[in-house]
Structure 1
């Protein structure tokens, strides 16, 4: 079994190398595999290098490398330091699931040989709480965490489904705060902290390069939120993106974050989706109406917004000059709520450029949305996936798209259920809507409309020719995409 893994591992870099480097690699194999134990492995490897059907076997072999931990076991058994060091240099991203002491030992062994990592993902499923802080477990855990400072190119660290206690928590925080740690993104998802978690939030004030903090799925106590806000208020904290989806936020937490939004000029992206924010959303909206609020991206998906919240959002869209992206996924948006939102989108003071409305919108609601398209000069991206808009809704949207004043660049209605009508009759009108596109700072130049993609089957229609409308630099072409179709519109 070990021989098989050895062969597979040594062959793996071949898929990463250009043909010109094959001879160099083969010479390196001859040098490193000099002892008798590896004679048979070396023979198999050279046979493979001479095979003409190497490409045919590439896909099947690559499947073996989904589990990096299995490779660690193989390398640990080999104990060829030079070769392990050389082999580890191939990996820029590593994911480890540590479930026992043996996993920890082999992970530590391989990580200390990694020098080119850019992304490290660790799941520490093993409970280290009762381990001896001076024992081998602590040493190996320290070696794992040391990868945060020994890899000068490491920019992203992810930890998920883990429980941190005692020395495991302290060791991780110490390495995250180290001056040589240059992380830009830190993700701790479904991770439990000890009650005294101040040490972790001190990381935010000691990491000048850290721009993104993702705590989604991690239950935050009131005290943890307080410590987080204190860190965000510190002038040495440079967090720009804060992701707090499914963190069990309370109304008190929303009040604390509203103060951050009021005072911070650095925080640009806030995700509080999948939290019950009926009592807390108005507090956030109130501060978002302030002219000096710097937030540009807000995700309120799955937040159970009520009528009062929609009224607050109406005011936000009219008053906020910085907010350009709003995600309202899975908040029921019908009748008066949708009409109120569309009224705000029609106002000249609305600067929103991207809007996600997977909100159970029906065909009747598309009339309101279609009326927005000709009069809103700023909206570039409108996502209506997973709404029951039917053919009637598609037709209404197409009428808005065909208006000469429409400036929309991206329209998506992925997975909207189809009716029994003939959708393909509507498609040509959708393809040939006139449009004059200006360059955008925030979205890709040219525009591409994501056409209908239904789970139950493909929308079929004639392939559209390229069209160059008078006065426009936009070309259009119908492209296949999965089971449905994608309408791609781009600069000609």
Structure 2
């Protein structure tokens, strides 16, 4: 039903069908149908026990709507994929999702929250959830396209999601300036909370320094240690990296 103008009234009509005990619907896509938290409440009350995939992206459901969907998550034994990108969800909504998944962690394998604003602790709520041995989430999306590409690039190198790390060691992977370009969007994203970034012996030159400095200047408040040893920065590259200290939010304590 993507890209139709169902609104909450149409959603309620659709839910009459979902309540039918003979309904076998497994995939429900409701991307951009102009519903609010009222439509989400109707959907939660009409919960279909066969549902495997639910897409509510690009609806202004907000935190109250996500709270309704969270009640569905608490009861579902089948839902594997939930997409909630661009739904005006903030920290409160992230907490509701995290709480629901903690109470019923073993079924959902994909959660898309791209384009929402998690606040200072929203990402941590769900990132901590991934440490639960019962949690089956394999795909958790927070980032925009460019940052997500950088995240996948780094994950492919280190085998771990960098959003869950405080220290990232990419030493001796021969990233070069091209590799630094790949990770720059990730480094400047507000979801990236790295304290230590180690890029030793990666053939980085002045060009990579420009990109790296720009990325770190846009998200400077977490990084306390940066290791650029054994690269080819030269004096020009060093001058560029030194501009980080001109940023009043810079917290760098160690620069190698």
- Tell me the equivalent position of 1:248: 34
Query: Unaligned 5+ residue runs, structure 2?
Result: 151-160, 169-181, 199-207, 213-256
Structure 2 counterpart of 1:303, from 77, 82, 87: 87
Please show how residues 201-212 of structure 1 align to structure 2 within 5 Å. Answer: none
1:216 and 2:2 correspond: yes
Query: Per the alignment, do residues 286 and 354 of structure 1 end up closer, same or farther by CA in structure 2, a change over 3 Å counting?
Result: same
Does residue 1:369 correspond to 2:164, yes or no? yes
Does residue 231 of structure 1 match 2:26? Answer: no
Tell me, yes or no, if the aligned pair for 2:111 and 2:140 is still in contact at 8 Å: yes
Give the distance between the partners of 2:162 and 2:32, measured in 1 at CA: 33
Higher RCO by CA contacts (8 Å cutoff, separation 6 or greater): 2
Tell me the distance in 1 between the aligned counterparts of 2:36 and 2:184. 29
TM-score by length of 2: 0.57
> How big is the shift at 1:391?
8.8
1:270 pairs with 2:65? no
1:258-407 correspondence runs (5 A)? 258-261=44-47, 264-278=48-62, 279-290=64-75, 292-320=76-104, 321-333=106-118, 335-358=120-143, 368-370=163-165, 388-390=185-187
Q: Name which one, 1 or 2, has greater alpha-carbon Rg.
A: 1
Query: Which structure's residues are more often strand, by fraction?
Result: 1
2:47 equivalent to 1:257: no
Shift of 1:276: 0.8
The answer on whether the counterparts of 1:391 and 1:419 sit within 8 Å (CA) in structure 2 is no
- Give 1:272 deviation, angstroms: 0.3
**Structure 1 residues 397 and 293: CA distance shift in structure 2, 3 A:** farther
3-state SS in 1 of match to 2:210: coil
The answer as to whether partners of 1:391 and 1:421 remain within 8 angstroms in 2 is no
TM-score (structure 1 length as normaliser) = 0.31
Give unmatched runs, 5+ long, in structure 1.
1-214, 374-384, 400-417, 423-492
Q: Report the equivalent of 2:221.
A: none
Contact 2:36 2:65 in 1 (8 A): yes
Please provide the CA RMSD for this pair: 3.8
Q: May I ask how many residue pairs the two structures share in their alignment? A: 175
Q: Distance in 2 between matches of 1:394 and 1:305?
A: 20
Q: Partners in 1 of 2:183 and 2:115 — Cα distance? A: 9
